[in-house]
Amino acid sequence: MFDSLMKKFRGVFEGIAKRGVLSEKDLSSAMEDLKKSLLDADVHYDAANAFVDEIRENAIGAQIHKALSPSEQLTKIVYKSLTDILGGNSKPIELDGSPAMIMLVGLQGSGKTTTSVKLAKHIKEKMGRSPMVVGVDFNRPAALDQLSIFAKQYNIASYTERAKSAVEAVKRAKEQARNNNNDVIIIDTAGRLHVDTELMNELKELKSAYSPSEILLVIDSMIGRDAVNVAKEFDSLLDLNGFILTKLDSDARGGAALSLYKTIGKPVKFAGVGEKGDAFEQFYPDRMASRILDLGDVMTLIERAQENYDQKEAERLEKKLKKNEFDIEDFLAQIQQIKKLGSLESILSFMPGFSAIKGKLKGLTPPDKELRKIEAIIGSMTRQERQAPNIINGNRRKRIATGSGTSVNDVNKFLKSFDDMKKLMKSLPKSGFSGLGIPKLR
Ligand SMILES: Nc1nc2c(ncn2[C@@H]2O[C@H](COP(=O)(O)OP(=O)(O)OP(=O)(O)O)[C@@H](O)[C@H]2O)c(=O)[nH]1
Ligand SMILES: [Mg+2]
């Protein structure tokens, strides 16, 4: 996502970087280039224009710092403008009423069912509430089962009754929610290929019967600038509270994300970034702008680390490190902790400047492949060998190489790196050290 836009933006900044000062003329030609990049990324025309206006305004208001280079100045201005067109501040969801009602609407296949469960999981884990998902899609035969199976997978309560109408199903779901102390209900509505009267009537009936505190339109980001037309239709009939963009992990060019706020005036509140239940993020315009400009998104990475890091395990490892008792078994535990954050490439993608070096990584062994190799090698060692690697003689090295599908050379390299690492750790100060490098095989 945003890859091609990032590349184009970088081109514009590189052009500016050659200048000594940022003149009015440079700025306006950069604006035209940036606008063109947005249109190429499938951003709606109105949103692209709004973006240029925004830059102009921010440029006039910006304090021109002598210490900043022209491209730094432009980055600062564009960052602010991008944040603005993406919606400014992140908008949380409202959970009023008992139970609070949230209705997810959208075209067929946009991701409503998947998103209902992801959102429920988010509300449960991040907001400490007790949500229940309710299916009211009676058209597609397997729709209700799909919801209840997915919900069960993530321990989310669900209610799926093939009732006469959506309104009736929700009525009984509400009773059950009260009995089970579920204080939030998320309604997964039926999808249609196009906006049609029958669907809209059903959604309007639900809205007037239950006045949900949030009606959110789920939009597949692959549809690009068409998102604006879909959003307009749904918004005019239902007065939406905002959007959830799905499939942001795909190679969609980002047009939908950048178009919605400026054209409809409603915020994107969440983003789906994969098929699994936890592939879901609150949408932060400033962080997204930072990612697009390749300034990194360290905040999100830190949050992810905090969620996944096992504090006790980290302390245990640190203690062993300090006592110089860190063995290969502990090293494996450390690798597994890091892996919980996602693939190494995805971790690196949160770092500033990553997209610029991404192309240059081609030809090198991808870090994840390297890790898998190390894991395989460790996996073929006996417990004793992991705890006392000095017993690994030539025969054992051969056995480990065969067992892990690697070569004796690979095993040697790993053992050598592990040894070097231990030596290095010994020479490090004994306090305040809690991170670990991963020895390279090559
Ligand atoms: N990669 C990716 N796939 C997603 C995401 N969200 C949903 N999907 C996939 O998109 C497909 C459709 O998702 P559903 O949740 O069934 O969509 P829906 O809107 O409920 O579809 P209907 O009920 O038929 O209208 C499924 O294969 C999901 O796994 C996402 O954020 N990323
Ligand atoms: Mg569905």
Q: Is the same domain home to 118 and 220? A: yes
Q: Is the same domain home to 73 and 129? A: no
Q: Is the same domain home to 127 and 206? A: yes
Q: Is the same domain home to 260 and 120? A: yes
Task: Single out the residue in 29, 57, 85 at which a domain terminates.
Answer: 85
With contact defined as beta carbons under 8 Å apart, do 245 and 46 qualify? no
In sequence order, the β-bridge partners of residue 271 are 245, 281
Q: Is the same domain home to 77 and 218? A: no
Q: Which atom of ligand 1 is nearest to the CA of 110?
A: 19
Q: Is the same domain home to 146 and 273? A: yes
Domain that holds residue 80: 3-85
For residue 435, is it within any domain? no
**Nearest ligand (C-alpha, residue 107):** 1
CA atoms within 13 A on the CB side of 105: 30
Ranges under pLDDT 50 in the chain: 430-442
Note the pLDDT of residue 311: 76
Note the pLDDT of residue 437: 41
Q: pTM (2 decimals)?
A: 0.76
Q: What H or E segment, with its residue span, contains residue 336? A: helix 328-339
CA–CA dist 106, 257 (Å, integer):
16
Q: Which atom of ligand 1 is nearest to the CA of 279?
A: 31
For residue 439, is it within any domain? no
CA–CA dist 37, 253 (Å, integer):
11
- Which residues does ligand 1 sit against, CB inside 6 Å? 106, 108-114, 137, 140, 143, 191, 246-247, 249-250, 272-275, 279
Number of domains in the chain: 3
Q: Is the same domain home to 116 and 149? A: yes
**Nearest ligand (C-alpha, residue 278):** 1
For residue 65, is it within any domain? yes
- DSSP assignment letter at 223: G
User: Which of 114, 116, 121, 133 to mutate for ligand 1's pocket (most ligand atoms within 8 Å of CB)?
Assistant: 114
Residue reference for tokens 């988010």: 122
Q: Is the same domain home to 244 and 114? A: yes
Pairing of strands 280-282, 268-272: antiparallel
Q: Is the same domain home to 72 and 108? A: no
Pairing of strands 184-188, 131-135: parallel
Read off the amino acid at residue 218.
V
User: Which residues, at least 6 apart from 73, have a Cβ–Cβ distance to it below 8 Å?
Assistant: 22, 62, 64, 65
Q: Which atom of ligand 1 is nearest to the CA of 118?
A: 6
For residue 156, is it within any domain? yes
For residue 94, is it within any domain? no
Task: Single out the residue in 55, 85, 115 at which a domain terminates.
Answer: 85
With contact defined as beta carbons under 8 Å apart, do 301 and 350 qualify? yes
- DSSP assignment letter at 392: -
Q: Is the same domain home to 216 and 332? A: no
CATH classification of the domain holding 172: 3.40.50.300
Largest CA distance in the chain: 76
With contact defined as beta carbons under 8 Å apart, do 144 and 160 qualify? yes
Ligand 1 centroid to 342 CA: how many Å? Answer: 21
Nearest CA to ligand 1 atom 29: 275
CA–CA dist 165, 339 (Å, integer):
46
Ligand 1 centroid to 368 CA: how many Å? Answer: 27
For residue 342, is it within any domain? yes
CA 96 from chain centre, in angstroms, equals: 27
Note the pLDDT of residue 439: 41
Q: Is the same domain home to 179 and 217? A: yes
Helices 285-292, 3-17: inter-axial angle, 10-degree rounding: 70
Helix (H, G, I), strand (E, B) or coil at 157: strand
The encoded tokens of residue 358 equal 């991404």
CA–CA dist 294, 146 (Å, integer):
38
Q: Considering only CA atoms, which of 197, 198, 166, 170 is closest in space to residue 182?
A: 170
Q: What H or E segment, with its residue span, contains residue 368? A: helix 367-379
Note the pLDDT of residue 363: 60
Q: Is the same domain home to 342 and 272? A: no
